[in-house]
Amino acid sequence: DHPDSRAMLTVRLKVPGEKQLNRMASSATKGESGIDVNGYPDYRGIPVVGAWTWLPEHGFGVATETDVTEACKSLSALRNLFGIFYALIVAIFAISMVLRRREMRADADREHARKIMRIFIEHNPAPVAMFDRDMRYLAYSRRWLIDYNLGSKDITGLSHYEVFPEIPESWKEIHRRCLAGAVEKCNEDKFVRPDGTTEWLSWEITPWRDNQGQIGGIILFTEVITERKKNKEMLQNANEYLDLRV
């Protein structure tokens, strides 16, 4: 504020050898704001890039300048970093596509194997049914529908316990053990139906596994042996009667 005062920092804003202000100073003193990335000579005559803004409420401007060579180094590094990042994105995308295609092929293979299994079960002459881990029907033979008086009902996707609500808890426990990996069978087992009639069954349960070796459910092989059981009992009773007569 005093005529004889001096600034602590003096910066020349003219291009060496010329009278006019450099690009930044000329624009800023006109009350303009701007940015120049093409390069212009600073007070040293060295090409720089810069950005500036004029603050009219304070009567001065604020500017920043960087040598073009330094700016290009940063830009080159940024470009290299972007290139690496882009290559990484492309690689991740390519890997994900390969894995997805493998997964799709694996899914197709699994579905093909299941179709073959369904065809085998559906045309099996014995009462056979295939279940998932929740004991829902995946496939069943025609003989299954006939022997258990289910008519032509489509039970695919239904729970085994919904189709046969009379199944005892002891059988459910056997199913749980087989879903855990056990193989169980019984040559003669009693099955009481809702109407009070009794049927005799021979059965075997084995788990089935998917392509990863995980248990996907169980397959139940059965045979209704009620008539055989009755004939056996009749023969036994006849033999006992003859023994008493003798």
* pLDDT tens digits along 154-203: 999 999 999 999 999 999 999 999 999 999 999 999 999 888 899 999 99
What average pLDDT does this structure show over 193-221?
A: 91
Lowest mean pLDDT across 86-100, 135-149, 181-195: 86-100
Cα 55–chain centre separation: 56
Assign 112 a pLDDT band (cuts: 50, 70, 90). Answer: low
3 versus 59: the higher-pLDDT residue is 59
Whether the pLDDT of residue 209 is over 70: the answer is yes
Greater confidence (5 vs 94) lies with 94
Least confident span in 78-92, 125-139, 163-177, 194-208 = 78-92
Give the pTM: 0.54
Alpha-carbon span 214 to 133, nearest angstrom: 11
Of 96 and 224, the one with more pLDDT: 224
Q: Which residue has the tokens 């596509």?
A: 97
Say how far apart CA 59 and CA 128 lie, in whole Å.
94
The pLDDT of residue 212 is 81
The predicted structure's pLDDT at residue 12:
60
CB 52 within 8 A of CB 36: no
- pLDDT of residue 91 exceeding 70, the answer is no
If phi over 0 gives left and psi between -120 and 50 gives alpha, with beta otherwise, what is residue 75?
alpha
**What is residue 195's DSSP assignment?**
T
| 38 Cβ contact list (under 8 Å, min separation 6) | 49
Q: How far apart are CA 206 and CA 216, in angstroms?
A: 11
Which helix (H) or strand (E) is 60 found in, with range?
strand 60-67
Q: What is the mean pLDDT of residues 198-225?
A: 92
* Dist CA 127 CA 146 (whole Å): 8
